[in-house]
A and B are shown apart, each in its own frame.
Chain A
Amino acid sequence: MNPTNPQSPIPNPQSAIRNPQSAIVNPQSVAPWRDRLFPNHEWVLMLVLLFECGIFSLSGDNFLTSANAFEVTRLSVEIGLLALALTPVIITGGIDLSVGSMVGLAAVVLGSLWRDAGLPLPLAAAAALLCGLTGGGLNALVIARLNFPPLIVTLGTFSLFRGIAEGLTRGIENYSGFPPEFLFWGQGHVGGVVPTQLFVLIAAIAGCSWWVHRTTAGRSLYAIGHSAEGARYAGIEVARRLTFVYLLSGLASSLAAVIYVAHLGQAKSDAGTGYELKTGCV
Chain B
Amino acid sequence: MNDSALLHAFNITKSYSGVQALKGASFELRAGEVHALIGENGAGKSTLIKIVAGAAQADGGEITLNGRSIAHNSPRLAKSLGVAAIYQQPALFPDLTVAENIALGLEPAGLWRRIDWSERRRRAAELLGLVGARMDIDAYAGDLTMPQQQLVEIARAAGAEAKILIMDEPTASLAEEDAQNLFRVIRRLCAQGAGIIYVSHRLEELAVIADRVTVLRDGCTIETKLMAEVNFGELIQLMVGRELSAVFPKRTVELGGVVLELRRLVCRAAGVSGVSLSLRAGEILGLAGLVGAGRTELAGTIFGLTPPDSGEILLRGMPVRITSPAQAIACGIAYLPEDRLRHGVIPAMPVSANITLASLARLSRFGSMDFRREREIAVDYARRFAIRTPAIFARVSTLSGGNQQKVALSRWLATKPSVLILDEPTQGIDVGAKSEIHALMCDLAAQGAAILMISSELPEILGMSDRIAVMRGRTIGGTLNRSEATQAKILALALGHRN
Asked if A35 and B324 make an inter-chain contact with CB atoms under 8 angstroms apart, the answer reads: no
Residue of A nearest to B388 (CB): A24
Out of A20, A21, A27, A231, which one reaches B346, CB within 8 Å?
A: A231
The segment from A160-168, A182-190, A222-230 found at the interface with B is: A222-230
Is residue B81 contacting chain A, with contact meaning CB distance below 8 A? no
Residues of B within 8 A of A24 (CB): 388, 400, 403
Out of B329, B358, B393, B404, which one reaches A31, CB within 8 Å?
A: B393
Asked if B346 and A11 make an inter-chain contact with CB atoms under 8 angstroms apart, the answer reads: yes
A214 to B374, CA, bound (A): 12
Asked if B357 and A223 make an inter-chain contact with CB atoms under 8 angstroms apart, the answer reads: yes
Asked if B390 and A27 make an inter-chain contact with CB atoms under 8 angstroms apart, the answer reads: yes
Residue of B nearest to A240 (CB): B326
Q: What 3 A-B pairs have minimum CB-CB distances, sorted nearest first? A: A20-B18, A31-B395, A216-B360
Q: Give A182-226 as 1s and 0s: 1 = Cβ < 8 Å from B's Cβ atoms.
A: 000000000000000000000000000010001111111011001
A43 to B303, CA, bound (A): 36
A3 CB, min distance to chain B CBs, angstroms: 8
Asked if A233 and B397 make an inter-chain contact with CB atoms under 8 angstroms apart, the answer reads: no
Is residue B174 contacting chain A, with contact meaning CB distance below 8 A? no
Residues of A within 8 A of B195 (CB): none
Out of A13, A28, A30, which one reaches B347, CB within 8 Å?
A: A13
Task: With A1-B89, A226-B347 given, name 9 new contacts (CB 8 A).
Answer: A15-B398, A16-B341, A16-B398, A23-B388, A29-B390, A31-B398, A215-B364, A226-B349, A233-B337
Q: Is the interface of B mostly helix, strand, loop or mixed?
A: mixed
Given that A35-B348, A215-B368, A217-B367 are known contacts, is A230 also in contact with B342, CB under 8 Å in the complex?
yes
A227 to B353, CA, bound (A): 13
Given that A29-B394, A31-B398 are known contacts, is A223 also in contact with B349, CB under 8 Å in the complex?
yes
Is residue B282 contacting chain A, with contact meaning CB distance below 8 A? no
Is residue B325 contacting chain A, with contact meaning CB distance below 8 A? yes
B259 CB, min distance to chain A CBs, angstroms: 19
Asked if B94 and A16 make an inter-chain contact with CB atoms under 8 angstroms apart, the answer reads: no
B168 CB, min distance to chain A CBs, angstroms: 14
Is residue B411 contacting chain A, with contact meaning CB distance below 8 A? yes
Is residue B92 contacting chain A, with contact meaning CB distance below 8 A? yes
A226 to B353, CA, bound (A): 12
**Count of CB-CB pairs between chains A and B under 8 Å:** 143
Report A's interface with B, CB cutoff 8 A: 1-2, 11-13, 15-17, 20-21, 23-31, 35-36, 39, 210, 214-220, 222-223, 226-227, 229-237
Residues of B within 8 A of A231 (CB): 346, 357
Is residue B255 contacting chain A, with contact meaning CB distance below 8 A? no
Is residue B350 contacting chain A, with contact meaning CB distance below 8 A? yes
Asked if B363 and A216 make an inter-chain contact with CB atoms under 8 angstroms apart, the answer reads: yes
Residues of B within 8 A of A11 (CB): 342, 346-348
Q: Give B473-486 as 1s and 0s: 1 = Cβ < 8 Å from A's Cβ atoms.
A: 00000000000000
Residues of B within 8 A of A21 (CB): 18, 400
Q: Give B383-409 as 1s and 0s: 1 = Cβ < 8 Å from A's Cβ atoms.
A: 000001111011111111101100000
Asked if A234 and B358 make an inter-chain contact with CB atoms under 8 angstroms apart, the answer reads: yes
A219 CB, min distance to chain B CBs, angstroms: 6
Residues of A within 8 A of B398 (CB): 15-16, 23, 26, 29, 31
Among B16, B361, B371, B389, which residue has the most Cβ atoms of chain A within 10 A?
Answer: B389
Asked if A16 and B17 make an inter-chain contact with CB atoms under 8 angstroms apart, the answer reads: yes
Asked if B324 and A215 make an inter-chain contact with CB atoms under 8 angstroms apart, the answer reads: no
A36 to B347, CA, bound (A): 11
Residue of B nearest to A222 (CB): B349
Residue of A nearest to B324 (CB): A237
Asked if B401 and A20 make an inter-chain contact with CB atoms under 8 angstroms apart, the answer reads: yes
A15 to B358, CA, bound (A): 24
A36 to B17, CA, bound (A): 23
Asked if A235 and B329 make an inter-chain contact with CB atoms under 8 angstroms apart, the answer reads: yes
